């Protein structure tokens, strides 16, 4: 039950911060959702750092890793919003924006995880 509550709390905090980030950044562009993109990339970076740190030391216990990765990062990042935004772009015929948004989100997200793992090894 304790682990469920940790994930629940982390997810709530992550979701709230994602909402604020989207409200702050999405109005700056009409077709490219900076808030969702930023949340997903930042979440990828954070999860890479957390998993890298937990793999090399005992600084973070299992409950902290659970709270931060599945809870916070799970709530902060959002595949469903990403998919909905992509669907809207396709429906509106914005093929170039769709391709740019989708491919950059995936590629930069994977690079951010790798960069986070690399950063955790250098700290």
Residue 63: its pLDDT value, please? 96
Among residues 12, 120, 117, the alpha carbon closest in space to that of 59 is found at 120
Please state whether 93 falls in left (phi above 0), alpha (psi between -120 and 50) or beta: left
Domain range list for the chain: 2-122
Read off the pTM: 0.88
Structural Rg of the chain based on CA atoms: 16
Tens of pLDDT along the chain (123 residues)?
999 999 999 999 999 999 999 999 999 888 889 999 999 999 999 999 999 999 998 889 999 999 999 999 999 998 988 999 999 999 999 999 999 999 999 999 999 999 999 999 987
Residue 29: its pLDDT value, please? 85
- The CA–CA distances, whole Å, from 53 to 34, 73, 86, 97 equal 28, 15, 33, 36
Residue 30: its pLDDT value, please? 80
Residue 32: its pLDDT value, please? 87
Instruction: Write b or e for each residue in 84-105: b if 16 or more Cβ atoms lie within 10 A of its Cβ, otherwise e.
Output: ebbeebeeeebeebbeebbeeb
């Amino acid at each position: 039950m304790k682990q469920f509550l940790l994930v629940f709390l982390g997810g709530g905090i992550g979701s709230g911060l994602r909402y604020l980030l989207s409200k702050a950044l999405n109005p700056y562009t009409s077709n490219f959702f900076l808030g969702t993109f930023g949340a997903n990339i930042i979440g990828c970076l954070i999860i890479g750092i957390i998993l890298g740190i937990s793999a090399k030391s005992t600084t973070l216990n299992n409950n902290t890793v659970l709270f931060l990765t599945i809870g916070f990062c799970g709530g902060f990042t959002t595949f469903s919003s990403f998919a909905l935004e992509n669907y809207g772009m396709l429906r509106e015929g914005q093929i170039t924006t769709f391709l740019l948004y989708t491919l950059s989100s995936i590629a930069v997200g994977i690079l951010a995880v790798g960069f986070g793992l690399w950063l955790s090894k250098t700290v």
